[in-house]
Each structure stands twice: as C-alpha cells, then as structure tokens.
Amino acid sequence: MKNFSTVMAHAAAVALLACAVSGAAVAQTDTATPSAACAFRPDAPDKHVVVKRDTLWDISGKFLRNPWCWPQVWGMNRDEIRNPHWIYPGQVIWFDRARGRLSFNRPGEDGDGRGQPPLTRLSPQVRSEGNGQGAVPSIPAGAIEPYLTQPLVVEADELAGAPRIVASQEGRFYLGKGDRVYVHGALTSDTVYQVFRPGTVLRDPQTGKVMAHEAAFLGSVKLVTPAGPGVDAHTFQVVDTVREMGVGDLLVPQPPTPVRNYVPHAPLQPVDARVMSIYAGVTYAGQSQVVTVNRGAVDGLDVGAVLQLYHVGKTVADPASRGFLGMGRAQLKMPDEQNGSLFIFRVFKNVSYGLIMTVTAPVQVGDVVKSPE
C-alpha cells in the first residue's frame, strides 16, 4: 500500500533524541517490545537525508513496514511520544544493517568497542531558529487543519447544559464583530466561547446510542459582564463570525490549543471501535478523508494513535448445508478484511477524529477500527 503523507505545523524546539535498538528489541524503555510487525522493510535505504517536505510518517515508512512503529525503533517512552523532540531538515538518518538499527551516525563510526550499539541518548539541543520552526512534523496540516478547532463535536452531556443566546443588541438579526449578545445558562471559568448550532447526530453503529452531535461552527464570543443579582443573562461581545449566528445558538468553551507535535504510535491500550461517520455526509471515504470513530479518551485513545481499518466480514450460506428451497441453511461468518490505516488527530471524551492514511478499498460507516496487530 502506498503511504499517505501530509504536512503538520510547528513542533518543540529541540533535536530528536536517539536510542540504539537491535533487531526486534528496544533498549530499556517503557515502550512495548517490538513485534515482527515492526520489522525493517527489505528495500529500506542505507540512509535518508531529511528534507523540508518530509514528515515522520514518510521517513518511518521508508525504513519500516509500518510507520506507527517509529517510537519503538527510536526507543521512545510514552512521555516522549506525547511531547516529542524533532528531526530537522539536513540531518541524515542511517540504517545500520549489521546492528539492525537507525542512527544519526554513519555505520561503523559509533559503538562501545565491543561490537554493540551505544545506549546513550543524544542530548536535546536548542536550535537557532527557535520554537522548533522548520522541524519535521508528523503528518501535513492541509488535510486536518480545519478540523483542529472546527467543526465541533459536542457530546450529549455538553449539549444538554450548553448556554444559549437569548437576545442581541437592539434586536439585531445579523450579528457581526463587536456586536453584543445576551446569553442565558451556567458558564465555566472560561471567557472565550465558540458559538455553534447542532448538526449531524453521531450514533454508535454498534448500539444505536447517540454519542455526540457534529455541530456547525458559527464564530466566537467573549464574556463582557457576567449576570449579576436579579439578572438572568450574561453580556458577551462577538469576536468573529464565519456563519450567521443569532438567538437560539449555543455556546461551548473554546478548546485549548490543539496538540500539534505528536508521533505516530500504537494506542495505549487495545481498541475495538467502529467508523461512526464520514465527514461531509458522503457514503464512502478514501485516502486523506476524515472520519469519526466511536471511541475517545476514556477508551485509551490519544492524539497520534494509529489504528487499522477493516471491512466487516460478510455472512454467507454454507453451500454444503441443506434447507427447504434454499432457506434455513447454515450461515458462515467470513473474516474481516483489512482495508487501510487511520491516524487519530483529535480526541474527545467518547469519540475521535481520524485521518485515513492508507486505503485499499473504500471506507464506510460501520467498518471495524482496531489496534495494529
């Protein structure tokens, strides 16, 4: 399968730390021991010179059968996966075939004198460009940037208690930047809120339960004056609008700045999920399209987790069994067929957004989503 790559935004301001690994074993980290699935590709190059357009997914795919094995190859622990150090253009990654490892050093130029790879890490170094500008990202921003802050996924408990706009300044129908609106409902400690209108209902394909609503993002407002004694509405000011907003629209606190520096990795715990929706309401999804899955943070998913996609195996009649006029014959369940990989880039409590990275057949609602095997 052909690997998909995208370009992500800026990362941390330090160089990637390297740890020697040997074959299928990683030196003393709290990452899981690599399996045969994390073997090097038979056509892996001797080296790779990092260029500006590279992503971690791309580079990993040049050396490994599965790009999500990147943390295991570099011996990264969970903290390093969540807050990774980075590779920069111009650096050279060498494949030491004799030792079965990747390194920033040319094969034969390092070691401990006993024919074993060194176990020391490179010290993080602040780079002159500052703030990690120019560092190689995980995947590209173009395909997922619009989904990092919008559209919104509003879960059932949030929707029930969401504050709502009950009136506008001078009864204006069309609201613009600087206009005042009046909001009724309980507020959090936040001062900036996103305004939304509930849209597509997201139902769990397995249970039929409403998991969340995919809501239309309308703009942002900021708190001017909280409701005082004897007053039922808070005063807000419109910060910006992307769609028409008005009375009846709902508010949710503006989310924190999304995590942008992450590493492709296997999920923290086994995941068995289903594709819940395909964004834009289409029937089938292909490479680089966004889907939602019916699992989230409470199920062990985190940003950067990579999952495998499967078509649910069909049930067919056993041709060897007998039945009256073909009815009542024994049924046989066919195996699920793997058809792609999914990169989780935004996680809510019970649902998550994923970007389809590789695909061999169209993805549809109800497809199985599992931890890599």
- The domain spans of the chain are 1-140, 146-253, 272-370
180-184 and 234-241 beta bridge pairing: antiparallel
Average pLDDT over residues 37-48: 89
Provide, rounded to the nearest whole percent, the portion of the chain with pLDDT above 90.
34
pLDDT tens for residues 165-186? Answer: 999 988 777 788 999 999 999 9
Round the CA-based radius of gyration of the chain to a whole number and report it: 25
Would the pLDDT of 12 be above 80? no
Residue bearing the bigger pLDDT, 31 or 246: 246
Average pLDDT over residues 323-334: 72
Please identify which residue in the block is written with the tokens 């369940």: 333
Q: What is the pTM of this model?
A: 0.72
Would the pLDDT of 148 be above 80? no
Residues 6+ positions from 171 with CB-CB distance below 8 Å: none
pLDDT at 326: 55
pLDDT tens for residues 115-136? Answer: 333 333 333 333 333 345 677 7
CA distances from 305 to 13, 192, 217, 341 (A): 23, 30, 26, 11
Under a CB-based contact definition with an 8 Å cutoff, are residues 129 and 136 in contact? Answer: no
Instruction: Choose the weakest-confidence range: 109-123, 172-186, 231-245, 283-297.
Output: 109-123
284-285 and 21-22 beta bridge pairing: unpaired
- pLDDT band at 35, cuts 50/70/90? low
Average pLDDT, the chain: 78
CATH number for region 272-370: 2.40.10.410
- pLDDT band at 318, cuts 50/70/90? confident
Average pLDDT over residues 193-213: 89
Helix, strand, coil in percent for the chain, rounding step 5: 10, 35, 55
Average pLDDT over residues 294-301: 93
- pLDDT band at 325, cuts 50/70/90? low
Residue bearing the bigger pLDDT, 243 or 123: 243
Nearest to 185 by CA among 238, 253, 245, 251: 251
pLDDT at 153: 84
Residue bearing the bigger pLDDT, 138 or 41: 41
Average pLDDT over residues 223-234: 95
Neighbours of 247 (CB within 10 A): 15
Residue bearing the bigger pLDDT, 353 or 13: 353
pLDDT at 260: 66
Average pLDDT over residues 293-300: 93
Would the pLDDT of 143 be above 90? no
Average pLDDT over residues 52-72: 86
Under a CB-based contact definition with an 8 Å cutoff, are residues 288 and 4 in contact? Answer: yes
Would the pLDDT of 258 be above 80? no
Instruction: Choose the weakest-confidence range: 79-88, 205-214, 225-234, 248-257.
Output: 79-88
Nearest to 17 by CA among 91, 107, 100: 91
pLDDT at 24: 31
Instruction: Choose the weakest-confidence range: 63-67, 68-72, 340-344.
Output: 68-72
